[in-house]
Structure 1
Amino acid sequence: MKKITLLISGIIGGVFLLAQQKEPFMAFDSQTHNFGTIKEEDGPVTHKYIFTNTGSMPLVIKEVRASCGCTASDWTKEPVLPGNKGFVSATYNPAGRPGPFTKTVTVTSNATNSPITLRFNGTVTPRTKKPEDIYPIVLDSIRFTQNFVYFDSIYAGEVLTKKIEVWNTRKTSATLSFVNAPKHIKVTFKPSATLKPDEKGSIEFIYSAKEKNDWGYVYDNLQLAVNGQTNTNNRITVSAKIREDFRKLSPKQLENAPVLKVNEYAYDFGTVKRGEKVKHDYILTNEGKSDLIIRKKTASCGCTVAELKKNTLKPGESLPLTVEMNTENKSGEVAYTITLITNDPKNAEVILFLRGKVSQ
């Protein structure tokens, strides 16, 4: 009986080993590569990884996936017969990516050792920037370092200053001005508003959150005029995120502060037909010890409206925030947000989600 058992085991083992030998196997000469130091201005670099099919069946590469969009891939498209060689290449684009890098390429095939991860690394030395690179924005032959100014986390009542650099590439002098600068943004030109040919200068934007008298994310488009002439496309966008300043509140004041609680932060309305209106109530409750003020409510889409009967909730008071969304011209999976700005020190900004599917 023992002899029979051993004989059967040997036969099964032999069949399994034979099946293994018949499968394709991807054996790379090397699965890593070091590009060393490369120059950004020299452009993309490529390395070709060579492999051999050491199995007994044709090898087919099904997919090659790079770890980032900065890497392009190529590979042997036809089946690789046993004993033959194939390749997987990786091309790295260093443009705008100075410094060290490490990337991967994952190869999926019908080989028994699939998937295989190939790795490469190196260091990119940044190219020397030309003046055109430093001043990439062109508005009527006047070059700017940027066409936006962002005041992040400016507190109500605070005044901050930021600047952008400007370069007159014209052959004649250019006088700059803004025709619609609001009162909360003061603009100064240095060395002056008039730049001689090839002269460089700067524009300072002095932002007063008190004068703006708003909350959360806000922006203004400032219309640029060159020698008194305007173009609708020549704009500098000045944006800010205005926050209430709770930094000086005492422990006692924090203890007595309002506390916002919402019954749910995300609502899935399921599937509705296009054109139907979705309506939902989020219940807001003030669980604090002083009045809760909803300073601002903003929807991420013009198709969505959020309404409150009043903006102040007494301690212990609850109130529905009614949100209505128009699904006209919508289709597929949709998701929108409603942002609340409050005087709750721990929940000064609350984001509510509304999502679902719109069918035709």
Structure 2
Amino acid sequence: MIRIEKTLYILLVFSFFSQLTQAQETITPKLIWAVNKVDLGTILEEQGPQVAEFEFTHTQDSLFYIETVVTDCGCTTVEYTKDTLQVGETGRLQVSFDPSSGAGFFSRMIVVKGNLQGVQDTLYIEGNAIPRASDPTLAYPTRKGDLGFRLAKVNVGEVFTNEPKLKQVEVYNFGETPFYRDSLEFLSPEYIQVSQLTDSIMPNDRGLLQVYYDGAMKADLGYFEDQVSLNWKDSTTFIQLDVLADVFEYYAPFAKDDLNLVPQLVIDPKEKDLRTIKASEIQVENVVLNNRGRQVLEIKKVQGNCECLRLELPKTSLDPGESILLKVVFDPKGRQGIDQRNIYIFSNDPLNPVQLFLLKSRVE
């Protein structure tokens, strides 16, 4: 009986390794793509079709060629290398997108199938298509000199310190003088730059500006509003842009096993309702900030959403297990009715680098 069991065991082991060897032999490495997603950015309808290019390298032993390319939308057309490639040779695939096919954000998928087993890769293009406005006066209500804007301020949105953020802004020329890219000058903080993407913005036509925001160079965290001055040398137009941004520290992903090793900020309470208060009475509240991690917690910034708040911390570094009190002083003078104050705590807690404390009240 024992000999039979040993024999079966040996046969099972042999069968397992035979299947593993066959599986390893049948696995075919895919093509190596330089990128698998291209962001075309903001596209104006009148700019016409835009082209995204993908480059790949053939790394397999056998001869390779692309059999078919399938897209998920009739708004895209594809051209690609039809030659048969040797190992180490490169090929290209170009995807043309027609912005007149729709409006707003788009994400299109392209599936590439090769002649060799296991070669079926997926590529993506994305961007924001903006159709031509039927009534520019209504579409661009904010006028700055001869230029019309859809919104009064440029909101860059969330900016992380690991890479700069780009924001494209659509403008319309209501004047009689063209705006040329080479003549644009700007005056701004060092962490903000402005460029003109279109070669020219002709009269009764529109174009694109681009705002570049470097969160690392800003060297601060939280919500900010900056002013940028723009001037075109061959034009009398001089305008001011208000640029809004929320700057956050970037923390790289970490292993789940390290969760208890990193700094951990715990706020208690996370919300306080003062109920009914008088506008003439200053309110004082204390909020406990605790470090439940095993590394030193650094409070990098505490920011309120109103000048009516005064925020005081006794220190900004907390050892593991240490607690401190954040003193919140709220002056409701000049306010009436339901009120909510937001207080943001920025720290080096990589899991929750920004946390919120809410102070609610009804002011009489």
The TM-score range, normalised by the shorter chain, is: 0.5 to 0.7
Structure 1 residue 211, shift from structure 2 partner: 0.9
CA offset at residue 134 of structure 1?
A: 4.8
Kindly state the Cα deviation for residue 270 of structure 1 after the two structures are TM-superposed. Answer: 3.9
The correspondence for 2:349, drawn from 319, 324, 344, is 344
Q: CA deviation at 1:284?
A: 0.7
Q: 1:325 aligns with which of 310, 330, 337?
A: 330
Give the aligned partner of residue 311 of structure 1.
316
2:160 aligned to which of 155, 158, 165: 155
Give the C-alpha shift of residue 313 in structure 1.
1.0
Between the aligned partners of 1:346 and 1:327, the Cα distance in structure 2 is 34
Indicate how the Cα distance of structure 1 residues 354 and 248 shifts in structure 2: closer, same or farther if over 3 A, else same: closer
Alignment of 1:34-183 (within 5 A): 129-130=133-134, 132=136, 134-174=139-179, 177=184, 179-183=186-190
Deviation at 1:128, TM superposition (A): 8.2
1: distance between equivalents of 2:248 and 2:153? Answer: 20
1:222 paired residue number:
228
Contact 1:222-1:235 at 8 Å conserved across structures: yes
1:312, CA displacement in angstroms?
1.5
Does 2:214 match 1:208? yes
TM-score (norm 2): 0.56
The 10-residue stretch of structure 1 (152-161 or 281-290) with the greater mean CA deviation from structure 2? 152-161
The CA distance in 2 between the partners of 1:140 and 1:340, in whole Å, is 40
Q: What is the aligned-residue RMSD (CA, Å)?
A: 2.8
Residue 185 of structure 1 pairs with residue 189 of structure 2:
no
Deviations 1:185-216 (A, max 9, x none): 11112345x64434543211122111111223
Q: What is the alpha-carbon distance in structure 2 between the residues aligned to residue 140 and residue 314 of structure 1? A: 55
Q: Per-residue displacement from partner, 1:85-106 (whole Å, max 9, x unpaired)?
A: xxxxxxxxxxxxx9xxxxxxxx
How many Å separate the matches in 2 of 1:236 and 1:286?
A: 41
Asked if 2 retains the 8 angstrom alpha-carbon contact of 1:256 and 1:289, the reply is yes
Q: 2:240 aligns with which of 231, 235, 240?
A: 235
Aligned-partner Cα distance in 2 for 1:235–1:167:
16
Once the two structures are superposed, residues 196-242 of structure 1 have per-residue CA deviations (whole angstroms, 9 ceiling, x without a partner) of 43454321112211111122332323234463554xxx532322222
| 1:249 corresponds to | 254
- Is 2:158–2:245's contact at 8 Å kept on the other side of the alignment? yes
Q: Identify which range, 345-354 or 221-230, moves more after superposition.
A: 221-230
**1:259–1:169 Cα change, 3 Å:** same
Distance 1:136 1:331, change over 3 A: closer
> Could you tell me how far apart the structure 1 residues matched to 2:209 and 2:237 are?
18
Using the alignment, how far apart are the partners of 1:339 and 1:216 within structure 2? 8
Which structure would you say has the larger Rg? 1
Gaps of 5+ in 1: 1-97, 99-126
Task: Indicate how the Cα distance of structure 1 residues 242 and 274 shifts in structure 2: closer, same or farther if over 3 A, else same.
Answer: closer
What is the aligned partner in structure 2 of residue 335 from structure 1?
340
CA distance in 2, matches of 1:281, 1:221: 35
In 1, the alpha carbon distance for the partners of 2:335 and 2:141 equals: 37
Distance 1:263 1:197, change over 3 A: closer
Matched to 1:276, the amino acid is: E
Compute the displacement of 1:325 (Å). Answer: 1.0
State the shift of 1:151 in Å: 3.2
CA deviation string 1:147-197 (max 9, x = no partner):
4433333321312222112232212345675653111111112345x6443
Residue in 2 aligned with 1:35? none
CA contact (8 A) 1:146 1:164 kept: no
Q: Distance in 2 between matches of 1:343 and 1:240?
A: 20
Runs of 4+ in 1 over 6 A off after TM superposition: none
Q: Given the superposition, is the C-alpha separation of residues 339 and 197 from structure 1 closer, same or farther in structure 2, using an over 3 Å criterion?
A: same
Equivalent residue letter for 2:215: A
Distance in 2 of aligned mates of 1:287 and 1:250: 18
Q: CA deviation at 1:135?
A: 4.0
Work out whether 1:288 is the aligned partner of 2:293. Answer: yes
Q: Which runs of 5+ in 2 are unaligned?
A: 1-102, 104-130
The 8 Å contact of residues 167 and 210 in structure 2, kept in 1 or not, is answered as yes
* Distance (Å, rounded) in 2 between the aligned partners of 1:182 and 1:171: 31
For 2:319 and 2:331, locate their aligned partners in 1 and report how far apart those are by CA, in whole Å.
32
Closer, same or farther in 2 for the Cα pair 1:315/1:305, shift >3 Å?
same
Alpha-carbon deviations, 1:21-43, whole Å to 9, x = none? xxxxxxxxxxxxxxxxxxxxxxx
1:261 to 256, 261, 266: 266
What does the per-residue CA deviation read over 1:103-130, in whole Å, with 9 as the maximum and x for residues that have no partner? xxxxxxxxxxxxxxxxxxxxxxxx9841
Evaluate the alpha carbon distance shift between residue 178 and residue 271 of structure 1 in structure 2; reply closer, same or farther with a 3 A threshold. farther
Distance change in 2, residues 1:355/1:190 (3 Å) = closer
Q: Contact 1:338 / 1:351 at 8 angstroms: preserved in 2?
A: yes
- Cα distance in 1 for partners of 2:306, 2:198 equals 42
SS of the counterpart of 2:289? strand
1:179–1:206 Cα change, 3 Å = closer
